[in-house]
Amino acid sequence: MTDTIRAITVEPGQADSLSVEEFNAPVPGDDELLVRGLALGVCGTDHDLNSGGYGWAPDGHKRLIIGHESLGEVVSAPEGSGFEAGDHVVGVVRRPDPEPCGACARGEFDMCRNGKYRERGIKEIDGFGAEQWVVHKDFVVKVDDALGVAGALLEPTSVVAKAWDQVDRLGNRAWFEPSSVVVTGAGPVGLLAALIGKQRGLDVHVVDRVTEGVKPTLVAELGAEYHTGEFRDILDSVDPDIVIETTGAGPLVGAALTHEHPYPVICLLGIREGDKMEVDIAAAGKRMVLNNTAVVGSVNANVDHWRTAAEVLGKADHDWLSSLITRTVPLSRFAEAFEHQDDDIKVLIDLQS
C-alpha cells in the first residue's frame, strides 16, 4: 500500500469546485476495515455537491471527500468482524446522530428525527471517493464479488429496498395483494425499483421521456413494459396498485397523487425543485380521503435495507445489472463522469486508474 492516496474533493457551497487531491493513506482504527476503493457511482446528489447547492464539509474543514456509492476490496479487517481480505464491500452512507434521537438509537438512522445525522461523502464525513478508505465494521456490507463493478449499485438498491419496505408497511395496514406497479423514471433508481417489482412477481410498468436507446431495452429485458407519453393516460390504462415516483417532476407527482384508484400506495423518491404548477389541493385531498390513498416520501436506508439490497443484487441477472453501468471513467479524468451524455444510466469512476 502507498503512503499517499488520491481522493475527489469538493468545497461545499462553491460551484464547480471538484478536484483530485493527495492525502496521507488512511490508517484503520480498532473496529475499522481498510478498503481499497474499486469504483464509485455518481448520482444526482454528487451533481448537486458540484453545483454548490448541497453538502457539508467535516467540522473544521473547508473541503469534503465526496462519494457515497462505493465498491471496494478489503485490505484488512478486525478479527471476528466477519470480513476478510479480498471481500468485496460497500460502505453504508448514513451515521446516526450523536445524541441520538429515538429513531437513531434504534438503528433507524434513515428516519432520523433531529436532522443531526451525518452522511459519508455528503454531510460532515468524508466519503468513499478515494483510492483507499476506512470504515467501521458495523457500517459496511459484503457484496457478491461475482457482480464485479455492478456491486457499486448496492447503494441505490438500498434506497429502493427501503422504498419497497415503506410500500409494504403502508399496504399492509389492511388487506393488500397488489398486482401492478408503475415506476416513473428509467434512471438507476427507477430501473432498480422495477427489478424488485419483477422479483416480487408484479406486473411492472416503467415510464420515461426517452423513446429509444438503452432504457426501453433494459426495461424489456427485465420483462417489464416501457411507456412514454402522457402520464395521466398511462395511469388510466395501467391503473396500478403502487406508484414509485423517482423523478420528482411536478406533473408526474401531481398525476400520481390525484389518480383515481382504490387504496393506492404511492412512494416518492425523487427530488427536484422549480416545477411550479396549479393544483386544486382540496380536490386532491378529497380524492385521497375517499380512496384511502397512502403517500410516503422515502430517503436513505438502514442496515437491514442494505442487506436486503445485497440479496436483490445477488439473485438478479448479473449481465442485466452490468448494462446499467453505461460508462466508467478513470479517476485521473473524473470530471468526465460529471458531463451529461445521452443514454447515461449509471456512470462509475474507476478509483484505481
Nearer to ligand BGC by Cβ, of 119 and 241: the residue is: 119
Is residue 159 near ligand BGC by the rule CB under 6 A? yes
End-to-end CA distance of the chain: give it in Å, rounded: 15
C-beta of 55: minimal distance to ligand BGC in Å? 9
C-beta of 58: minimal distance to ligand BGC in Å? 15
Nearer to ligand BGC by Cβ, of 64 and 238: the residue is: 64
Nearer to ligand BGC by Cβ, of 33 and 93: the residue is: 93
C-beta of 271: minimal distance to ligand BGC in Å? 8
Residue pair 42/327 in contact (Cβ under 8 Å)? The answer is no
For ligand BGC (CB under 6 A), the number of binding residues is: 11
C-beta of 184: minimal distance to ligand BGC in Å? 17
Nearer to ligand BGC by Cβ, of 18 and 159: the residue is: 159
C-beta of 44: minimal distance to ligand BGC in Å? 6
Is residue 119 near ligand BGC by the rule CB under 6 A? yes
- Reading phi first (left if > 0) and then psi (alpha if -120 to 50, else beta), residue 173 is in alpha
Is residue 246 near ligand BGC by the rule CB under 6 A? no
User: Site map for ligand BGC, 272-311, x if CB under 6 A?
Assistant: ---------------------------xx-----------
- Alpha carbon of 272 to those of 44, 159, 251: distances in Å? 10, 17, 12
Nearer to ligand BGC by Cβ, of 93 and 345: the residue is: 93
Cα atoms in the Cβ-side hemisphere of radius 13 Å centred on 44: 12
Torsion of CA 124, 129, 130, 132, to 10 degrees: 80
- Out of 112, 122, 163, 192, name the contact with ligand BGC by CB under 6 A: 122
DSSP per position, 200-266:
TT-EEEEE-S--SSHHHHHHHHHT-EEE-S-HHHHHHHH--SEEEE-S--HHHHHHHHH---SS-EE
C-beta of 244: minimal distance to ligand BGC in Å? 15
- Out of 33, 93, 204, 347, name the contact with ligand BGC by CB under 6 A: 93
Residues 43-72 that bind ligand BGC (CB under 6 A): 43, 45, 68
**Sign of the alpha-carbon dihedral angle for 328, 147, 81, 124:** positive
Q: How far apart are CA 119 and CA 110, in angstroms?
A: 10
In eight-state DSSP terms, residue 79 is T
Q: For residue 197, which of 263, 265, 299 has the smallest C-alpha distance? A: 265
C-beta of 22: minimal distance to ligand BGC in Å? 27
Q: How far apart are CA 305 and CA 295, in angstroms?
A: 20
Q: How far apart are CA 117 and CA 319, in angstroms?
A: 36
Q: For residue 9, which of 50, 53, 60, 69 has the smallest C-alpha distance? A: 50
Nearer to ligand BGC by Cβ, of 94 and 346: the residue is: 94
Nearer to ligand BGC by Cβ, of 75 and 299: the residue is: 299
Nearer to ligand BGC by Cβ, of 241 and 245: the residue is: 245
Is residue 147 near ligand BGC by the rule CB under 6 A? no
- Binding residues for ligand BGC (CB under 6 A): 43, 45, 68, 93-94, 119, 122, 155, 159, 299-300
